[in-house]
Amino acid sequence: MDLSTALFRVKRYVIYWLQCVDQHSLQAPYVFELYNEVFRGVQKADSSEITTALHQLQSDHREVPTQSGAGSSLTTKKYTVSQIAKHGITDLRHAQLIQRIIDYHAFSTVLELGASIGVNTIRLCNSSLQSIVTVERNDVLIDVASELFKKLGLTDRIELVHADVEVVLRDFVKQKRRFGLIFLDANHTYEGTLAYSELMFRLVDQNHGVVVFDDINWSSGMRRAWDELSKKFDKGVVLETYQMGFLFFNPRLQRGKYIVDF
């Protein structure tokens, strides 16, 4: 990480810390309940199966070529599965937050854009969802994720797609597929995020869906994309933590944006 990026993230965290609010400042009934039941939910430990699998991945030294999907916390040109398992996946706290969002809204279908090594995918399977589609274009990571899903006996609930995210999104739009929740953790650029968003909004349930953007403060480009998307969003409620941005689609809700303590 270069100095300018580090300083940008520190600045953004200070801004977040100054602006974030807790349940005492949330007046809208839906947002108040959502924050208390979901965002303030109790974090649990991983299952023994996931813990064992993660430890094994942290000892996997296969090299991963530089393709998209390597994990946003890694900036070196060469890295290994072990490094991704230690530093390049969604942390347990945020993975379980998405789990609770899925359970709270009783979503049955989820689309994950950026499978990486598959750890976040298997964590989401601990929710009430029936099936999850996860997309990854990296040749090595797709093999690692596939091995993990087979090892844990989850292949009947996980559809693993080896392809470019934008290609998959366009195909799904043509197929008129619909998802309760879409989680974007791929192509952390301004242009990529906006291009994906246009397609994701055509796939998510417009009356009862959620789109989640990871790493909104990863770079100035990501921040700019999130600011534009959240400002223009008029189909429900926007919630934001330091790491993630959430668009809750529901035409019955009063439009509003909330930066919440998490």
CATH number of the domain that 205 lies in? 3.40.50.150
Q: How far is CA 115 from the centre of its chain?
A: 10
Phi and psi torsions of 80, nearest 5°: -120, 165
pLDDT in tens, 34-49: 999 999 999 999 999 9
Amino acid of residue 129 = L
Sequence-ordered list of residues with C-beta below 8 angstroms from that of 227, at least 6 positions apart, any chain: none
Position 60 in a domain: no
Position 137 in a domain: yes
Quickly state the pLDDT bin for 71 (edges 50, 70, 90): very low
pLDDT in tens, 163-220: 999 999 999 999 999 999 999 999 889 999 999 999 999 999 999 999 999 999 999 9
Position 68 in a domain: no
Position 62 in a domain: no
- Give the pairing of strands 236-240 and 245-249: antiparallel
What is the Cα–Cα distance from 186 to 172, expressed in whole angstroms? 17
Number of structural domains the chain divides into? 1
Domain region containing 183: 3-52+90-259
Residue 144 in tokens: 């690692």
Position 75 in a domain: no
Position 17 in a domain: yes
